[in-house]
Structure 1
Amino acid sequence: MAIFYFSDVLRKVGLDPSKVKLIRHALTDRGFRECYKANVVYEYTCHQKSGFSKGYDYWVTFISDQGTLCKLDSCYKVGAAVPDTPDMIPKGIPEIEARKFQGKNAYFHLEPLDLLKEYEGRLIIDWGKSARMWHQKGTTEKPVVAIQADEKKVFSGFENLILTYDELKEIVENPTVYEAWHTALSSVNAIYLIVDRETGKQYVGSAYGKDGLLGRWACYVDSLHGNNKLMKELICAYPERYHDFQFSILQILPKTVTDDEVIRTESLYKKKLLTIPFGMNDN
């Protein structure tokens, strides 16, 4: 017996399961597979028979491969529909689907909703033995078999770390959710790189002391500029520019190295990257 069903999830976010249609897109279907590859899943979903949404205000879509398990994709509020005449063929739709626009069916306006955003791409249900019934009522009991970890909350290694300012802010301000990040970043000293994605200018900095890299980067979250002279001037001139800052790591250093060793390594990277004459380092 399942611990809980997808209908429970719908109720949790305030949706009446009886007003929700569940749709299973299968990658084994050539037409859908071509649309999936072309990144036009939304457009593919909008194209249905005229009476497809009768009695339903919302559609929730899933994507499956082989078997009966499928992963939550999106949630939509259903709007008006127009005939699927050839002039309604969406840009990018593969020919295998485009030729189905003959004015006999409908093209629905779907409004993407964030109600299930936290589960999209992570929540997996068992569609059941009736896999050929690719659209079913929201009241049909679909066991939730797994909710996968949110990949952005998993620390995947220093060498893979690239963060925008907004992503860094979320991590710094949510230590419980991002516990692995806090543990890793506070355990090392480092030479780091900040790039202004608007201009490409770079800043090389160093992090050392009790809280390591986490402590230094937290200063940027609090002050926006980390008390760096040229970055201060930049933000003074363009107050929203900090949103374009990208943070990454050039080199990890153990906590056992001296402060002088960290600073010498930082200076070496400034020379290599020419961040004093051409970047945002002023010394």
Structure 2
Amino acid sequence: MDFKDLLRVQGYDPDAKDRIVLLRHRPYEDRLARAMPWIIEERPDLFETYQAFPGRPETSIRRAEFVASFLGLSPGTAHFVGLYRVGESRRLDHEAFWRIPENQTLWEMGYGGFTHEEVDRYGPRLQFDLERLPFYSDWRGRLVIDFPPPERSWFRWVDRGSFPIHAVLEESAFSAPPPEWREIDLTFAELATLPASWRARLAEWRGIYLIFDESDRRSYVGSAYGQDNILGRWQSYAGDGHGGNRELRGRDPQHFRFTILERLAPDLPPEDVIARENSWKIRLHSRQPFGLNAN
């Protein structure tokens, strides 16, 4: 079975010349690529803004009537996001592009966006109005197709290719469970877009965590054992940037990275958690003047 068959079933003609263009989004920015599945699941407004500025070449979308949108998560495949009707378009200069709040949030998550080099080379950036259609919406993140090489070519005309259905997953790949706790390494911006499955798991875990400030390579060690455990503490930082910690006030939280040093038993007494926290402070030299712990 081919993706074209799904289009036919829903009344779209996949053989009409230059009518449907298939896009396989695959951000080149590592941080944004990692966060994009969460963005699609938790902040679709950010994804819609990202997709509205497809970059070069824009001529394919200008000619198309519909966009079949996919995300590349692994070589040779693409995960379905949605089918969109192409509407009006407009050109935005560099200043207007970065005035859009969603673009600013995406930049905080690693988005390169509209660079000065692109301004010099191409001029203003084209923005499209894309209307999402009720086309297999329950298969968002579940429908996987084979994407023919070369992968660097991120768009295909549907009438000129073949896109076999690779799988229909039981659960969306965009809301996958979190990795093993030792592998968690989050930026400040990513705290606001964590999938529900990640938030639920972090709320279960007590532990010792590290906040690393990339601007001057200093560290803060903290512990979590109260309401919502690690999630509760990290949401506090996401809210004000410092979580009430004196030495973090006045610092730019956009430079912070959040990792877990040690996961603890959910019934471990608070005094034992604090003892483990102090042990990490000593071993990592996170107290002043070397680190950001005041005590």
TM-score range for the pair, normalised by the shorter chain length: 0.5 to 0.7
Q: What is residue 215 of structure 2 aligned with on the other side?
A: 198
Residues 163 and 247 of structure 1 are in contact (CA less than 8 Å); yes or no, is this contact kept in structure 2?
yes
SS of residue paired to 1:213:
helix
- For residues 128 and 140 of structure 2, the distance between their equivalents in structure 1, rounded to whole angstroms, comes to 11
Which residue of 2 is the match for residue 149 of structure 1?
Answer: 172
The 5-angstrom pairing of residues 156-167 of structure 1 reads 156-167=179-190
Change (3 A) 1:202 1:7: farther
C-alpha distance in 2 between matches for 1:200 and 1:161: 18
Q: Unaligned stretches of 5+ in structure 1?
A: 12-16, 26-44, 80-108, 128-133, 172-176, 236-240
Structure with the larger RCO, 1 or 2 (CA within 8 Å, 6+ apart): 2
CA contact (8 A) 1:202 1:280 kept: yes
Could you tell me the TM-score, scaled by structure 1's length? 0.53
C-alpha distance 278-145 of structure 1, shift in aligned 2 (>3 A): same
Asked whether 1:245 is paired with 2:267, we answer: no
Identity %: 26
Residue pair 1:163, 1:248 contacting (<8 A) in 2 also: yes
Give matches, 1:226-245, under 5 Å: 226-232=243-249, 234-235=250-251, 241-245=252-256
Please report how far the alpha carbon of residue 209 of structure 1 lies from its aligned counterpart in structure 2 after TM superposition: 2.3
Confirm or deny: 8 A CA contact 1:126 1:145 kept in the other structure. no
Cα drift, residue 270 of structure 1:
0.9
Partner of 1:278: 290
Q: Does 1:259 align with 2:270?
A: yes
Contact residue 193 and residue 204 of structure 1 kept, 8 A: yes
Q: Distance in 1 between matches of 2:190 and 2:10?
A: 27
- The TM-score with structure 2 as length reference comes to 0.52
Q: Which string of whole-angstrom CA distances, capped at 9 and with x for unpartnered residues, describes residues 15-65 of structure 1?
A: xx876344699xxxxxxxxxxxxxxxxxxx95x9xxx99954677687898
Answering whether residue 124 of structure 2 is matched by residue 124 of structure 1, we say no
Counterpart check, 1:170 vs 2:193 = yes
1:122 CA displacement: 6.6
1:89 alignment counterpart = none
Secondary structure of 1:137's counterpart equals helix
Letter of the aligned partner of 1:150 in structure 2?
A
- 1:222 CA drift (Å): 2.1
Residue 6 (structure 2) aligns with: 5
> Using a 3 Å threshold, how does the CA distance of structure 1 residues 145 and 10 change in structure 2: closer, same or farther?
farther
Counterparts of 2:253 and 2:63, CA distance in 1: 47
Deviation at 1:72, TM superposition (A): 5.9
Q: Deviations over 1:84-125 (max 9, x none)?
A: xxxxxxxxxxxxxxxxxxxxxxxxx99697958x99987424
| CA distance in 1: counterparts of 2:176 and 2:293, whole angstroms | 31
* Equivalent residue runs for 1:82-161 within 5 Å: 123-125=143-145, 135-137=157-159, 146=168, 149-151=172-174, 153-161=176-184
Q: 1:114 to 1:196 in 2, by over 3 A?
A: farther
Corresponding position: 1:223 with 2:240: yes
CA contact (8 A) 2:141 2:174 kept: no
CA distance in 1, matches of 2:267, 2:69: 52
Gap runs ≥5 in structure 2: 25-55, 90-123, 148-155
Provide the rounded CA distance (Å) in 1 between the counterparts of 2:207 and 2:200: 14
Q: 1:159 to 1:20 in 2, by over 3 A?
A: farther
SS at match of 1:203: strand
1:146 Cα deviation after fit: 2.9
Question: Structure 1: how far apart are the matches of 2:198 and 2:62?
Answer: 47
What's the CA shift string for 1:216-241, capped at 9, x where partnerless?
Answer: 11211222201110101x33xxxxx1
Computed over aligned residues only, the root mean square deviation of the Cα atoms, in angstroms, reads 5.2
Structure 1 residue aligned with 2:204? 187
- Say which structure is richer in helix: 2
